[in-house]
Amino acid sequence: MSDLLETAKSILKSNLSIQENEQIIVVSDPDSNEVANVFYEAAASLGNETMLMKMMTRKKSGEEPPQAVADAMKAADVVLCITHHSLTHTKARKEASSAGARVATMPGITMDMLQEGAITADYSEVERLTNEYCQLLHEGESVTISKGNSSLTFSIKGRQGIPSTGVFRNKGESGNLPSGESYIAPIEDSANGTILVDGSIAGIGVVSEPVLLTVENGRLTDAAGEEGKRLLEILGDGNGRIIAEFGIGTNKKARLTGNVLEDEKVYGTVHIAFGSNKPFGGMNEAGVHIDCVITEPIVKIDGKKLHLS
């Protein structure tokens, strides 16, 4: 336990730049209590006023927390969202960031992830790679992802690339921990084609066989196999099926484990998501946000192939 406490304290100091007299809130749920307690104890041992708020486990990623939790997030200097499902793309997280809080979201983080994999990365390298890819996304207009015989094309024209470096030094900065991704909200009705998801799907885990997704005018219209059927059920029949995100993994220590918090950061992978994207520059609100990870894809921005490994 002492080793885990030291790791958590190091993360608080190095990745979140915790300062004396800053107030910290740890948001958790019954499924994430063990890791949340480690960070609570670590923050308290540093002498910071620290609060632990436990809510009921959300039903899916992107679902809003209770209003009392949302209000507390806005009032804190630093927020750690250590929850089973992700609060990253929620209105509550966005409002906390707008109020100046530094917010680290850690959906599904495990005790193992505090010791191995993405958390052990050289975050100066993660920052460099993430900013490089973000610049390409910011300057680009059209993206094509190819895998096997599948190909998906969409527009990112006018949208802003978002860096998730895992390092939050300034007021309002936010992202995942562990981290390492560059992401952007595609134009919602612009995506067309098919894409083979052979990595993992949030809420489902590592896929047992590749899942072929079909997208028409930005909407997911079909997903093959049993795991594809489960994806469609999670997303529902409404705005949850609209393309929300394109992301590029930038963490060379990240592993494909079935936990999307780490999976989508794996260097050499990309991911697309469906559902809410308004919190990071899109137009869609859906109450759900589900990422789908693709390994070893061919990616082109404005016809130019990206080097992903």
3-class state of residue 238 by DSSP? coil
- The yes or no reply on domain 2-115 and CATH 3.30.420.40 is no
Q: What pairing do the DSSP bridges indicate for beta strands 181-184 and 243-249? A: antiparallel
How far is Cα 187 from Cα 44, in angstroms, rounded to an integer?
A: 43
* Per-residue burial over 271-293, b = 16 or more CB atoms within 10 Å of its CB, e = otherwise: bbbbbbbbbbebebbbbbbbbbb
- Both tokens of residue 138? 């910011």
Write the DSSP symbol of residue 262: H
* pLDDT recorded at residue 216: 98
* pLDDT recorded at residue 184: 98
What residues are paired with 194 via a beta bridge? 214
Residues of the chain predicted below pLDDT 50: none
Q: What is the pLDDT of residues 40-84, one digit of tens each?
A: 999 999 999 999 999 999 999 999 999 999 999 999 999 999 999
Q: Which of 163, 197, 164, 165 is nearest to 296 (CA)?
A: 197
Q: What is the pLDDT of residues 265-296, one digit of tens each?
A: 999 999 999 999 999 999 999 999 999 999 99
Are the beta carbons of 79 and 73 closer than 8 angstroms? yes
The domain segmentation of the chain, as residue ranges, is 2-115, 119-305
* pLDDT recorded at residue 160: 96
**Cα four-point dihedral sign 175, 21, 39, 126:** positive
Q: Which of 282, 170, 155, 257 is nearest to 215 (CA)?
A: 155
Alpha helices in the chain (DSSP H): 2-14, 33-45, 67-75, 91-98, 123-139, 225-235, 260-263
* pLDDT recorded at residue 309: 79
Backbone angles phi, psi at 119, to 5 degrees: -65, -20
- Both tokens of residue 31? 């499924």
